[in-house]
Amino acid sequence: MGNIGSVTRSLLARVPWNSISGAEDLEMAVSKAQKEVDNTPPGHPDLAIRLDDLADKLLDRYNQTNDIGDLEKAISSAQRAVDITPPGHPHLATWLNNLANVLSNRYNRTGGTKDLEHAIRNVQLAVDITPPDDPDLAMRLSNLAAMLSDWFKETGDIRDLETAVKNAQQAVDKTPSDHPDLAIRLNNLANIVADRYHQTGDARDLENAIGNAHKAVGITPSGHPYLATWLSNLSTKLSDRYKRTGDTNDLEDAISNARRAVDMTAPDDPDLALWLSNLGAILNDRYNGTGDTEDLEEAVSNTQRAVDMTPAGHPHLAAQLHNLANMLSDRYSREGDTRDLEDAISSATRAVDMTPPDHFDLATRLNSLGAILSYRYDQTGDTEHLEYAISNTQRAIDIAFSNHHQHLARQFSNLANLLLDRHSRLNNATDLVNAINNAQRAVDITPEDHPNRAIWLGNLAIKLLNRYQRTKDIKTLDDAITNARIARDITPPEHPDLAMRLSNLAYMLTDRYNQNGDSADLKDALDNAQKAVDITPPDHPDVAIWLSHLANSLSMTGNSKDREAAIGHYSNACDSRSALPLHRIQAARRAIQLLVEQDDLPKASCVANKTVQLLPLVCSRYLSRKDQQHAILQTAGFAADACSLALSLELPDAQKALEHIEYGRGLIIGHLIDSRDDLSDVEEKSEDLAAACRALRAKVERAGRGRLAGDGTLRSGNVREKIWREREQAIKELEDCQKRIHALMGYEQFPPKLGLNEIKNAAKEGPVVIVNATDIRCDAIIVQTGGAITHVELPEMKGEAPLRFQQNLANHRVVDEYPQRNPREPDENDDLDSEDQAVEDYLSWLWSSCVELVLARLETKAVPPLSPDTGIQPSNLPRIWWIGTGAASSLPFHAATRYSSTVHSTENTLNRAISSYTPTLKTLIYSRSRVTRRKVAFEDLPVLLVAMPTSPDSSTLPAIEMEQTAIQEAMKDTRFDVRVHPTAEEVLGDIKNYTVVHFACHGKADRVDPSNSYLLLQKLDRTSGEISPSELTASMISDEISLEQRGAWIAYLSACSTAEVRAKHFADEGLHLAAAFQVAGFAHVIGTLQPASDNACAKVAGYFYSYLVANRGAPDINRLVAESLHYALSEAEEKGEIRRIDLVPYVHLGA
Mean pLDDT of 764-777: 93
678: DSSP letter: -
pLDDT for position 804: 54
pLDDT score for 15: 43
Q: Return the bridge partners of 137, or none.
A: none
Decide if 248 is inside a domain. Answer: yes
Q: Is residue 471 part of a domain?
A: no
User: Which of 973, 1041, 983 is closest to 1016 using CA atoms?
Assistant: 983
Q: What is the pLDDT of residue 702?
A: 61
Average pLDDT of the segment spanning 670-697: 78
pLDDT at 948: 96
Give the Cα separation of 726 and 724 in Å (integer): 5
- Which residue type does 731 have? I
Rg (CA), the chain: 37
| For residue 1148, pLDDT beyond 60 | yes
Residues 795 and 853 in one domain: yes
pLDDT band for position 322 (50/70/90)? very high
DSSP letters, 331-348, are HHHHH--HHHHHHHHHHH
Alpha-carbon distance of 746 to 806, in angstroms, equals 46
Residues 720 and 773 in one domain: no
- Banded pLDDT at 1145 (limits 50, 70, 90): very high
Q: Which whole number is the average pLDDT over 410-421?
A: 94
Q: Which helix (H) or strand (E) holds 917?
A: strand 914-917
Q: Tell me the three state secondary structure of residue 157.
A: coil
Position 866 scores a pLDDT of 40
Residue 318 lies in a domain: no
pLDDT tens digits along 705-744: 444 433 333 334 455 455 656 767 777 788 788 788 878 8
Confidence of residue 1010 (pLDDT cuts 50, 70, 90): confident
Q: How many domains would you assign to the chain?
A: 4
C-beta of residue 497 within 8 angstroms of C-beta of residue 546 = no
Q: What is the pLDDT of residues 335-381, one digit of tens each?
A: 878 889 989 999 999 999 988 887 778 889 999 999 999 988 888 78
Question: Same domain for 720 and 804?
Answer: no
Q: 829 and 952: one domain?
A: no
For 320, half-sphere exposure in the C-beta direction (CA atoms, 13 angstrom radius) is: 27
Question: Pick from 296, 311, 326: which residue ends a domain?
Answer: 311
For the chain, what is the mean pLDDT? Answer: 86
How far apart CA 165 and CA 171 sit, in angstroms, is 10
Angle at CA 580, nearest 5°, toward 574 and 581? 60
The DSSP bridge partners found for residue 1002 are 1016
β-pairing, 914-917 with 942-947? unpaired
Same domain (yes/no): 902, 979: no
Cα pseudo-dihedral 697, 698, 703, 708, rounded to 10: 130
Is 975 inside a domain boundary?
yes
Please, what's the b/e burial string for 510-535 (b: 16 or more CB within 10 A of its CB; e: otherwise)?
A: bbbbeeeeeeebbebbbebbbbbbeb
Distance between CA atoms of residues 1147 and 892, nearest Å? 8
Give the per-residue pLDDT at 828. 44
Question: Does a structural domain hold residue 1033?
Answer: yes
Mean pLDDT of 1108-1124: 91
SS3 labels along 723-738: HHHHHHHHHHHHHHHH
pLDDT top residue among 444 and 683 = 444
Position 1086 in a domain: yes
Confidence of residue 25 (pLDDT cuts 50, 70, 90): confident
Per-residue pLDDT tens digits for 107-122: 887 777 899 999 999 9
Question: Residue 684: pLDDT band by 50, 70, 90 thresholds?
Answer: confident
When pLDDT is averaged across residues 36-60 and rounded to a whole number, the result is 94
Number of Cβ atoms within 10 Å of the Cβ of 1043? 19
Among 2-11, 187-196, 609-618, 1011-1020, the minimum mean pLDDT is found in 2-11
Q: DSSP class of residue 908?
A: B
Residues 1080-1113 have pLDDT tens digits of: 889 999 999 999 999 999 999 999 999 999 998 8
Burial 943-977, CB ≥16 within 10 A → b, else e: bbbbbbbebbebbebebbebbbebbeebbeebebe
Nearest partner of 209 among 224, 196, 223, judged by Cα: 196
For 305, the domain range is 220-311
pLDDT at 874: 67
Q: How far is the CA of 279 from the CAs of 285, 296, 304, 311, in angstroms?
A: 10, 11, 12, 19
Whether 731 and 880 map to the same domain: the answer is no
The answer to the question of residue 104 being in a domain is no
State the pLDDT at residue 862. 63
Note the pLDDT of residue 735.
Answer: 78
873 and 812 inside one domain: yes
What is the arithmetic mean of pLDDT over 261-267?
95
Q: Residue 361: its pLDDT value, please?
A: 84
* Percent share of the chain, pLDDT over 70: 88
- End-to-end, the C-alpha distance of the chain in Å comes to 52
Position 1007 scores a pLDDT of 85
Single-letter amino acid code for the residue at 402: S
Task: Give the single-character DSSP code of 1032.
Answer: E
Do 720 and 845 lie in a common domain? Answer: no
Together in a domain, 851 and 971: no
Q: How high is the pLDDT of residue 586?
A: 95
Q: Of the ranges 242-251, 746-755, 770-779, which is most confident?
A: 770-779
- Note whether 664 and 770 are within 8 A (CB): no
Which one is predicted more confidently, 374 or 831?
Answer: 374
Same domain, 1145 and 1025: yes
Categorize the per-residue pLDDT at 24 as very low, low, confident or very high, splitting at 50, 70 and 90: low
Give per-residue pLDDT as tens, 585-604: 999 999 999 999 999 999 99
Question: Does residue 428 lie within any of the structural domains?
Answer: no
**Residue 818's pLDDT band (cuts 50, 70, 90):** very low
Residues 6+ apart with CB under 8 A from 530: 550
Least confident of 98-107, 544-553, 986-995, 1041-1050: 1041-1050
Backbone torsion region of residue 1020, taken as left when φ is above 0, otherwise alpha when ψ lies between -120 and 50, otherwise beta: beta
**Among 917, 950, 973, residue at a domain's last position:** 917
What CATH code is carried by the domain that includes residue 965? Answer: 3.40.50.1460
DSSP 457-478: HHHHHHHHHHHHHHH--HHHHH
Most confident of 227-236, 966-975, 1020-1029: 227-236
DSSP 714: B
User: Taking the CB of residue 493, how many other CB atoms lie within 10 A of it?
Assistant: 6
Domain boundary among 917, 937, 952: 917
Q: Answer yes or no: do 941 and 861 share one domain.
A: no
Question: Are the C-beta atoms of residues 1059 and 1087 closer than 8 Å to each other?
Answer: yes
Give the range among 161-175, 927-941, 1120-1134 with minimum mean pLDDT: 927-941
- Residue ranges of alpha helices (H) inside 265-361 are 272-290, 293-308, 317-335, 338-353
For residue 750, count other CB atoms closer than 10 A to its CB. Answer: 20
Indicate the helix (H) or strand (E) that contains 69: helix 68-83
- Indicate whether 807 pLDDT > 60: no
Where does residue 706 rank: exposed (0-12), middle (13-18), buried (19+ CB within 10 A)?
middle
Judgement on whether residues 911 and 771 belong to the same structural domain of the protein:
yes
Which residues are CB-neighbours of 1132 under 8 A, at least 6 positions away?
A: 1096, 1099, 1100, 1103, 1138, 1143
d(CA 651, CA 730): 47
CA proximity to 905, closest of 960, 840, 814:
840
